């Protein structure tokens, strides 16, 4: 029987030390998103996402993010939030803003991302955050979807993923 080499032991220990102690992933379909009051009739909810059907104006929706605060203690973790979207508009871009608010509605963090142009493929916005997220916080992503060029050329949101590493 052979003994494990010192190098193999060091590699295993180093790999275990570098790996997150715990990782949690939360995923949601875009059907969790809610339209602005004036945009209810513009948005189409389907099995592939939420899309702006209006050919005359943009549509706005708000996507709440479920967050379990005990997974993120002492601000030592990082959380990556990804929103998957489709931008099929050649005249305007998809724009989404992440809001992290305290329980009383006071904003702690606001970060906006904007697409870089039309594409038929699903793209994603990504936010990586740390100590901004924690107990008593509310997370929501607000997206502005450009008007549809046609019934088959619509922009929309497909879903959200939240990965927390501790």
Q: What is the pLDDT of residue 23?
A: 62
Residues in the chain: 166
User: 10 Å Cβ neighbour count for 106?
Assistant: 7
Tell me if 2 is assigned to some domain: no
Q: What is the pLDDT of residue 67?
A: 67
* pTM confidence score: 0.80
Tell me if 75 is assigned to some domain: yes
* Total of domains in the chain: 1
Output the DSSP codes for the chain: -PPPPHHHHHHHHHHHHHS-S-EEEEEEEGGG-EE-GGGGGGEEEETTEEEE--SSS-EEEEEEE---GGGS-TT--EEEEEEEEE---SSS--EEEEEEEETTS-EEEEEEEE--S--SS-EEEEEEESTT--TTEEEEEEEEEPPPSBTTB--EEEEEEEEEE-
Q: What is the pLDDT of residue 152?
A: 87
**CATH number for position 44:** 2.60.120.260
Structural domain boundaries, residue 52: 21-165
Residue with tokens 């709440």: 64
Residues (pLDDT < 50) of the chain are: 6-20
Tell me if 74 is assigned to some domain: yes
Q: Are 64 and 139 spatial neighbours (Cβ–Cβ below 8 Å)?
A: yes
d(CA 71, CA 164): 7
Instruction: Tokens for 98, please give them.
Output: 């992440």
Q: What is the pLDDT of residue 44?
A: 95
Tell me if 47 is assigned to some domain: yes
Tell me if 67 is assigned to some domain: yes
Tell me if 53 is assigned to some domain: yes
Tell me if 82 is assigned to some domain: yes
Tell me if 7 is assigned to some domain: no
Q: What is the pLDDT of residue 137?
A: 79
Instruction: Tokens for 11, please give them.
Output: 């590699």
pLDDT (tens digit per residue) in 16-54 = 334 445 567 778 899 999 999 999 999 999 999 999 999
Q: What is the pLDDT of residue 157?
A: 97
């Amino acid at each position: 029987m052979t003994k494990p080499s010192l190098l193999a032991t060091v590699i295993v220990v180093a790999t275990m030390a570098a790996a997150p102690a715990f990782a949690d992933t939360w995923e949601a379909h875009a059907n969790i998103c809610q339209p602005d009051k004036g945009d209810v009739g513009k948005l189409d909810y389907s099995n592939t996402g939420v899309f702006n059907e209006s050919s005359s104006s943009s549509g706005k929706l708000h996507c709440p993010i479920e967050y379990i605060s005990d997974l993120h203690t002492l601000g030592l973790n990082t959380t990556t939030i990804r929103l998957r979207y489709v931008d099929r508009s050649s005249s305007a871009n998809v724009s989404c803003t992440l809001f992290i608010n305290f329980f009383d509605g006071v904003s702690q963090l606001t970060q906006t991302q904007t697409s870089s142009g039309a594409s038929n493929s699903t793209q994603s916005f990504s936010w990586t955050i740390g100590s901004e997220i924690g107990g008593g916080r509310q997370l929501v992503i607000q997206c502005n979807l450009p008007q549809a060029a046609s019934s088959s050329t619509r922009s929309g949101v497909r879903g959200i993923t939240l990965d927390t590493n501790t």
